[in-house]
Structure 1
Amino acid sequence: MTADVNHMLGRADWLNTPGIQAVFSALELEGDQARVVGGAVRNTLLGHPVPDIDIATTARPETVMQRALDAGLKPVGTGIDHGTVTVISRGVPYEVTTLRQDVETFGRQAKVVFGRDWVRDAERRDFTLNALYSDRRGHLFDPLGGLADCLARRVRFIGDPDSRIREDYLRILRFFRIYAAYGEGDIDAAGRDACLRQRDGLRHLSGERIGHEMRRLLRAPLAAAALRMMNDSGLWEIATGGLARIEDYCALRGLAPFAPDVSDPELGLVVLGGFVREDLERICDRLRLSNAERNRMRTAWAAMKFLRQSADPTAPPPDARDMIYEFGRQGAVDGLLAHWAFRKAQGTPPPEDDWRELLERVRQAPLPAFPVKGADLIAAGHAPGPALGELLQKLETEWRASKFTLSKVDLVLRAGSSG
């Protein structure tokens, strides 16, 4: 097995670039070693994309900075006090961190010292499948037996789960997020139970850190299964401050074969927690979401509410162009998917073929543009002022009622007859 793994790593595209090999050459001087660690190794073995690359080294941070400069690379001391230097080579950033070991443990403020012991460095990481290393030729170093767990897609804490969690309570969310992204089969019982025992620690985390982790979890393939476990154990309520409509969310993820939007965190949060508008705002505040994320969620919630209040199970689907005009294209898509999931969870799903066709029309239909402006009515003899605005609103309502068929000429003529 090891020979096969080495062969796979050795052929990885990211390991055979001049950029990363230049970083290795810069670091591996005077007896120092460097190895890629964590996600890049794990993702390669599991056939996932490799978005970024972390490198561990025995060289001290100040040495990393100097050697990178000497090699013509660009070092940035992003976390130099904690041993991390970002080295930019051929335009690609690599996070290079000196081997560390904990001396005293008190959460994220744990006192660490730099060292040269690869096993001690591995022991301070979170999960066994993340404690895998590769040298520049693709030779695997597996000090804690993480390879078997990785290939089995089994997420296990390193050492005592409670101790690992107390070092950083965000690892509770990471446990479920890594399972949702890479896991298979039943979740590790020892890890799950430790998360439940330590769950009050989530209350001490910042909203930014929770929000960052929850976004990544919601994008993962097994998000529905992971969130169901979190909801059943009270973790969701602690993390977000509210309850979850977990059945709606599971139904939403069931629409994935023809709607990739279901893995978007904004839509997921609306479906999970948007019982009322106040719930939506609470989640936005708790997770410190950006204005763009908040606006998308608010529009999605409004579209979902519109469909939920106006929909008769026996009525035909809404007009696609009217939905687009009212909520924008993405808002209309989000609202349709959220309402569709709600109906499925309630046991009254709309006709699938009709709603798939409606969803496609919403994605492709041109955005209607109201053809009349105030200047058009003034040119036709109407006086400027509040009455002109009221007339424009009246004409827009008639235009929408006509399913956007009335032309500019039609509308101006109607304005004339009603003026």
Structure 2
Amino acid sequence: MSSAADEILARADWLQSAAVQAVFAAIEQDGDEARVVGGAIRNTLLGHPVPDVDIATTALPQNVMERARVAGLKAIGTGLDHGTVTVVSRGLPYEVTTLREDVETFGRQARVVFGTNWVRDAERRDFTMNALYADRRGRLYDPLDGLEDCLAGQVRFIGDPDARIREDYLRILRFFRIFAAYGEGDMDADGLGACLRQREGLRQLSGERIGHEMRRLLRARRAAPALRLMNDCGLWEIATGGLARTEDFNALRGLEDLAPETRDPELALVVLAGFVREDIERVCDRLRLSNAERKRMKAAWAVMKRLKDPVNLPSAASLLYEFGRLGAVDGLLAVWADLRARKTADDHRFAELLSGLRTEPVPEFPLKGADLIAAGHPPGSGLGNFLKCLEEEWRESGFGLSKRELMRRITECL
């Protein structure tokens, strides 16, 4: 099986690239070795995109820095205390980390020494499928027999799951996220049990770290079953501070073929946690979401409230004018998912409205205050009220009144 894996890796575009080969050539001197490790190997073998390439090496960080410089590559000491140097080759960044082994462990404050033992380096990683290495020719090195787990979609902790989690409680969320992205079948029982036993450790994590991991989890292929398990085990409540509507989220992901927005974390969080407006604020604060993410979630929630009567749905133009295209689409999808979860959705009507939201232009009110003044309306507090009345008349006409027709109404009222 490893020979087949070798062939797949040897043909990988990212490994054949001149950029990564230049990094290998710079590092592998004076008997030092370098191997790609982790996600790039896993993703290649499973047929997933490879967003970045990490390299492990026996070379010490200062040697990596010097050798990269001599080779004409840019080297940045992004994590020298942990042995990590970012080497930029042909515009692409590669994280190069010296092999490490734990001497003593105090939670995340493990005392680490640099080494040359590939097995020891593998033993301090999180999951077996992430402890895979490949040299510059694509030859696989599998010190912990992780290849079988990788190909089978089995996410298993390396060694004692409880010990791995106590080293960094974020690994609880990583366990669910990696399962959601790459897992097949049932979740590993030993790993799940350890997550349950260690779940209170999640309270020690910062909102930024939880938020970063949750965003990635919500985008993953099997996020729905992973989140259902998290919620059943009480992990979602600890991570986010509230409950989850997992059936609604499952229904949302059922609309994926119609709407790529169903993979967006902002919409997912509204569907999962947006029982009331305060929930939106709580989740945004807990996960340290950006102002843009918060704004999008609030807009989606507002549209949900606007669509509370699914029998009398507003027109696409009305929603577009009131909430903009993204807010209107998000809110419609959230309501559609809610009704689908309750098996009361009129899919045909919602699909038609979604099509209108995607294709119709966003209405733009054709008048401004300057138009009224030019027509003879005096400036002052009454100007805004008059403009609002005209705008309301324009909306009630189905946004059909032209600027000329509205101007005629101005002159008739003066």
Structure 1 residues 64 and 312, CA gap change in structure 2 (3 angstroms): closer
Q: 2:309 matched to 1:343?
A: no
Q: What's the secondary structure of 2:370's corresponding residue?
A: helix
Q: Per-residue deviation at 1:347?
A: 2.6
CA deviation digits over 1:356-409, x for unaligned, max 9?
121111011111110111111111111111111001111111111111101112
Match of 1:138 in 2: 138
Q: Report how far residue 312 of structure 1 moved.
A: 4.3
The aligned residue for residue 393 of structure 1 is: 388
Superposed CA deviations along residues 182-206 of structure 1, whole A, max 9, x for unmatched, are 1111111110111000000000000
Q: Which amino acid aligns with 1:103?
A: V
TM-fit CA distance, 1:327: 0.5
The alignment status of 1:242 with 2:242, answered yes or no, reads: yes
CA distance in 2, matches of 1:197, 1:393: 59
For the residue of structure 2 that corresponds to 1:35, the secondary structure is strand
Of the three residues 374, 387, 403, the one matched with 1:408 is 403
The match for 1:375 is 370
Q: Secondary structure at the match of 2:66?
A: helix
Matched residue of 1:75: which SS?
Answer: strand
Task: Say whether 1:363 aligns with 2:358.
Answer: yes
Q: CA deviation at 1:34?
A: 0.3
The alpha-carbon deviation at position 354 of structure 1 amounts to 2.0
What's the secondary structure of 2:379's corresponding residue? coil
Structure-to-structure mapping, 1:4-403, within 5 angstroms:
4-308=4-308, 311-313=309-311, 315=312, 317-349=313-345, 351-403=346-398
SS at 2:257 equivalent: helix
Q: Report the CA distance between 1:38 and its aligned residue.
A: 0.1
> How does the TM-score come out when normalised to structure 1?
0.97
Q: By how many angstroms is 1:418 displaced?
A: 3.5
Amino acid at match of 1:19: A
Deviation at 1:56, TM superposition (A): 0.2
Where does the alignment leave 5 or more consecutive residues of structure 1 unmatched?
A: none
Amino acid at match of 1:228: R
Q: Deviations over 1:313-356 (max 9, x none)?
A: 3x3x320011111111000000000010111122311x212211
Secondary structure of residue in 1 paired with 2:157: coil
CA distance, structure 2, for counterparts of residue 279 and residue 418 of structure 1: 46
Write the distance in 2 (CA, Å) between the matches of 1:392 and 1:146. 68
- Output the aligned Cα RMSD: 0.9
What's the CA shift for 1:417?
3.1
- CA-to-aligned-CA distance 1:79-119 (integer Å, 9 cap, x gap): 01110000001111000000000111122221100000000
- Give the Cα–Cα distance (whole angstroms) in 1 for the partners of residues 350 and 243 of structure 2: 28
TM-score normalised to the size of structure 2? 0.99
**Distance in 1, Cα, partners of 2:111 & 2:64:** 21
291-300 vs 39-48, greater mean Cα deviation: 291-300
Identity score, percent = 69
The C-alpha deviation readout for 1:40-97, integer Å capped at 9, x for no partner, is: 0000000000000000000011111011111110000000111000000111100000
1:3 aligns with 2:3: yes
Q: Distance in 2 between matches of 1:79 and 1:24?
A: 19
